[in-house]
Amino acid sequence: RGSPIQGAVSLGQAFGLDVQDFSDKATTIKGQAADGAAMDVSSHPIAEGALMALAGAPSRTAANLDRAFMAGAFNLMAPLAVGIALALLLLMQSRKVEAAQREFSDSEQRFRLAVEAARCGIWEWDLTADQVFLSDVTGAMFGWGGGGIVSSQDLLERISIDQRERVRQALANAATYGAFDVSFRVPANQQGGRTIWVDARGQGFGKPGQDGYVRIIGVALDVTEERHAQARAQAAENRLRDAIESVSEAFVLWDRQGRLLMCNRNYRNVFSLEPKLLKPGAARAEVNRFAALAIKQDHPAPDGARGVREAELMDGRWIQISERRTAEGGLVMTAADITAIKNQEEARRLNEEQLQHAVTGLERSQEQLAELARKYEMEKVKAEGANKAKSEFLANMSHELRTPLNAINGFSEIMMNEMFGVLGDARYKGYCLDIHNSGQHLLALINDILDMSKIEAGKMNLKFEPMHLEDVAEDAVRLIRNRAEAAGLKLAIDFPQLPEIEADYRAVKQVLLNLLSNAIKFTPRAGSVTVRAEMRRDPLGERIRVSVTDTGIGIAKEDLARLARPFEQVESQLSKTTQGTGLGLALTKSLIEMHDGALDMASTPGEGTTVSFTLPVRQSQSQTQPSRDFAAA
């Protein structure tokens, strides 16, 4: 307002200048600032004098120049210092941001490494773009070999067909409620190796919109081993249950809190328990209360074993109950049925009582038995003495019995042969023949009886000397051949080349005569009798086996065993017409055994009989001592 000069003066005053004079022309005047400093103020009219431009500067005096320099330096350095400070502050803040970003990146990298080291993959499902980000581990699970971004459809096609719908449903629920949790199988043909099981868990990320969450972030775990372990554990548990069910004992298992873990059917049956009472987790006290109703009485085991007791059930059965603690502090109980054992114990107790009664009775009759034993011993001594006297009498009477028979046979033979002239009547010759034959037969019987009695009395001695069995056999056959031909039989010898043996000639000859006589006696007309021999070797040494085989009537199997006993005969239609003492085979067996040999017989009724005996080639030293001829007496 007012003139421009007045305005310039007022402006100068506003800037702290004390302006003395201004003109309407360009001019420079001296002034003084409010602080007393000299000022040079220049005025310039502009806009045709409508405006006045003023410019003030300190006067160029030395003091002013210094002051101006200092002020200029300050004015120059102050913004520079502020700029440097701001630059340093920005640099520090930038480094803090970079450090925070680096720390966040390291933390994220450590988290990824830790998660993936635990075979746990990371994934992010973008529902809007219908794409899934997979980490390296997650991508390897699905068979891609590494991480990356795949479409939802490609990912679902890697999942087993029968489980894709379940995954879609879990994803739809996650979009609505935020939580994602599903297990599925990735077939071997998708991931290039073995079939694996994956547990996928996630959570909605960010704030849900009108349609729910648009991003799901989560992890994927390879739980194949856990699934296999669960399957193996389940199979093992099934096998354990099957094994427990198959045992005959009652079985029940409680945990350390006294809760039921498992039991078998026999446990329910033994204690008559309802199945609804035996659910897993049932209290042991409650179950035992009902089980006690089935027990009539119980007591500790007889052997005092710890944790073992016996109980009688209401139905009469007996069980042995065993209880012991498990390593986890639980309790296992088994109950075995011992009814049969108890019954046996009762039967044994009754038997012991009966035995005790019997022992008492035996003790009462002990004196009677002792008396009977004494009487038996006396009678035995008497019988043995009588038998010995009989044997000694027969052995001593051999000469007295044979001498009269020799005279009868000798004189009847003289008369029969008419050695001193004709007898006269022809009938006398027949009578003489009958006397001679009867005497010969009686002599043979007496000889057998006396020989048997001598063997029983121990007075039969043999004389062992080298000999050929073929010579003995021919000698015996020659003596018996007339009888064989008269009976219409064929008699043959079949002997190979045999070594000499040590034996009693007369004894072996008598054995062969006895066997040949029996064979001829029991073989019908037109039959045959054959004498064979063969060499054998056994652990006892070299032996010769001689067999007499006939085609006679044969002997039944049940009669063979008793034929070699003294005075035994087999009654048959044919043997009833024959005569004899029955001592022939018994005497033969005794003579063979005195040679350290053996006699055996084989026969088939209607076909024939074979009687064989074996003799050692060499006798033992005790058998070959010099002895007198058994027939010398």
> Of 344, 332, 302, 293, which Cα lies nearest the Cα of 320?
302
| Lowest model confidence (mean pLDDT) among 16-20, 172-176, 269-273, 620-624 | 16-20
Say if 68 falls within a structural domain: no
Say if 107 falls within a structural domain: no
Q: Is the model's pLDDT at 20 over the cut of 70? A: no
| Lowest model confidence (mean pLDDT) among 263-277, 425-439, 593-607 | 425-439
pLDDT at 610: 94
Say if 106 falls within a structural domain: no
Number of domains the chain contains? 5
Q: Are both 478 and 612 inside the same structural domain?
A: yes
Q: What number of H helices and E strands is found in the chain?
A: 17, 23
Instruction: List, in order, residues 6 or more apart from 438 with CB less than 8 Å away.
Output: none
How far, in Å, CA of 22 to CA of 6, rounded? 8
The 3-state DSSP class for residue 496 equals: coil
Higher pLDDT, residue 385 or 628? 385
According to DSSP, the residues that pair with 120 across neighbouring strands are 221
> Of 293, 306, 300, 335, which Cα lies nearest the Cα of 318?
335
Q: Are both 495 and 611 inside the same structural domain?
A: yes
pLDDT digits 0-9 by tens, 530-541:
999 998 887 778
- Give the N- to C-terminal CA distance of the chain in Å, as an integer: 203
C-alpha pair distances (Å), 453 with each of 4, 389, 448, 450, 509: 196, 11, 8, 5, 19
Residue range 11-33: mean pLDDT, rounded: 58
- The count of other CB atoms within 10 Å of the CB of residue 451 is 23
Residue range 123-132: mean pLDDT, rounded: 89
How far, in Å, CA of 295 to CA of 293, rounded? 6
pLDDT at 551: 94
Q: Is the model's pLDDT at 556 over the cut of 70? A: yes
Instruction: State the CATH number of the domain containing residue 557.
Output: 3.30.565.10
Say if 214 falls within a structural domain: yes
How far, in Å, CA of 164 to CA of 183, rounded? 10
Residue range 279-292: mean pLDDT, rounded: 90
Residue ranges in 397-504 assigned as alpha helix (H) = 398-417, 426-456, 469-486
For residues 17 and 33, the answer to whether their CB atoms sit within 8 Å is: yes
> Of 517, 497, 486, which Cα lies nearest the Cα of 611?
517
For residues 294 and 278, the answer to whether their CB atoms sit within 8 Å is: no
pLDDT digits 0-9 by tens, 237-251:
788 777 888 777 899
pLDDT digits 0-9 by tens, 322-379:
999 988 889 998 998 888 888 888 888 889 888 888 888 888 888 888 888 888 888 8
- pLDDT band at residue 503, thresholds of 50, 70 and 90? very high
- Identity (one letter) of the amino acid at 176? T
How far, in Å, CA of 151 to CA of 130, rounded? 6
Q: Are both 474 and 588 inside the same structural domain?
A: yes
User: What does 142-201 look like in DSSP terms, one character per residue?
Assistant: TTSSS-EEEEHHHHHHTS-HHHHHHHHHHHHHHHHHSEEEEEEEE-HHHHSSS-EEEEEE
pLDDT at 534: 93
Q: Is the model's pLDDT at 550 over the cut of 90? A: yes
Half-sphere exposure of 65 (CA within 13 A, CB side): 3
For residues 345 and 312, the answer to whether their CB atoms sit within 8 Å is: no
For residues 31 and 17, the answer to whether their CB atoms sit within 8 Å is: yes
pLDDT at 390: 66
For residues 43 and 20, the answer to whether their CB atoms sit within 8 Å is: no
Say if 90 falls within a structural domain: no
For residues 602 and 556, the answer to whether their CB atoms sit within 8 Å is: no
For residues 563 and 514, the answer to whether their CB atoms sit within 8 Å is: no
pLDDT at 575: 43
- pLDDT band at residue 68, thresholds of 50, 70 and 90? low
For residues 261 and 284, the answer to whether their CB atoms sit within 8 Å is: no
How far, in Å, CA of 516 to CA of 470, rounded? 15
CA 149, 150, 151, 155 torsion-angle sign: negative
- pLDDT band at residue 63, thresholds of 50, 70 and 90? low
For residues 206 and 215, the answer to whether their CB atoms sit within 8 Å is: yes
Q: Is the model's pLDDT at 110 over the cut of 70? A: no
The 3-state DSSP class for residue 122 equals: strand
Q: Are both 609 and 470 inside the same structural domain?
A: yes
How far, in Å, CA of 320 to CA of 305, rounded? 11
- The count of other CB atoms within 10 Å of the CB of residue 321 is 20
pLDDT averaged over every residue in the chain: 78
* Strand (E) or helix (H) holding 539: none
Q: Are both 566 and 497 inside the same structural domain?
A: yes
Residue range 544-558: mean pLDDT, rounded: 90
For the record, the structure tokens of 391 come out as 């044997």
Exposed, middle or buried, 179 (CB in 10 Å: 0-12/13-18/19+)? middle
The 3-state DSSP class for residue 216 equals: strand
> Of 248, 419, 208, 420, which Cα lies nearest the Cα of 334?
248
Q: Are both 455 and 465 inside the same structural domain?
A: no
Residue ranges in 256-365 assigned as alpha helix (H) = 265-271, 284-291, 339-364
Q: Are both 378 and 507 inside the same structural domain?
A: no
Domain end, chosen from 229, 259, 293, is at 229
Instruction: State the CATH number of the domain containing residue 306.
Output: 3.30.450.20
Exposed, middle or buried, 357 (CB in 10 Å: 0-12/13-18/19+)? exposed
For residues 591 and 511, the answer to whether their CB atoms sit within 8 Å is: yes
pLDDT at 573: 39
Pairing type for strands 51-58 and 120-126 reads unpaired
Instruction: State the CATH number of the domain containing residue 409.
Output: 1.10.287
* Strand (E) or helix (H) holding 535: strand 528-538
According to DSSP, the residues that pair with 603 across neighbouring strands are 609
How far, in Å, CA of 173 to CA of 180, rounded? 7
For residues 449 and 581, the answer to whether their CB atoms sit within 8 Å is: yes
pLDDT digits 0-9 by tens, 191-218:
556 788 899 999 888 888 777 888 899 9
Domain end, chosen from 432, 459, 486, is at 459
For residues 158 and 191, the answer to whether their CB atoms sit within 8 Å is: yes
pLDDT at 415: 75
Pairing type for strands 308-313 and 196-204 reads unpaired
Q: Are both 134 and 194 inside the same structural domain?
A: yes
According to DSSP, the residues that pair with 124 across neighbouring strands are 133, 217
> Of 624, 608, 490, which Cα lies nearest the Cα of 549?
608
Q: Is the model's pLDDT at 580 over the cut of 60? A: no
How far, in Å, CA of 76 to CA of 284, rounded? 95
Say if 81 falls within a structural domain: no
Domain end, chosen from 427, 459, 491, is at 459
C-alpha pair distances (Å), 454 with each of 386, 391, 443: 15, 7, 16
The most confident of the ranges 292-306, 410-424, 605-619 is: 605-619
Q: Which domain holds residue 410?
A: 365-459
CA 415 to chain centre: 95
Q: Are both 492 and 452 inside the same structural domain?
A: no
pLDDT at 394: 62
Say if 605 falls within a structural domain: yes
pLDDT digits 0-9 by tens, 561-576:
666 555 455 544 344 4
* φ, ψ at 194 (rounded to 5°): -85, 160
Say if 205 falls within a structural domain: yes
Q: Are both 133 and 149 inside the same structural domain?
A: yes
Q: Are both 425 and 515 inside the same structural domain?
A: no
Q: Are both 451 and 480 inside the same structural domain?
A: no
For residues 391 and 456, the answer to whether their CB atoms sit within 8 Å is: yes
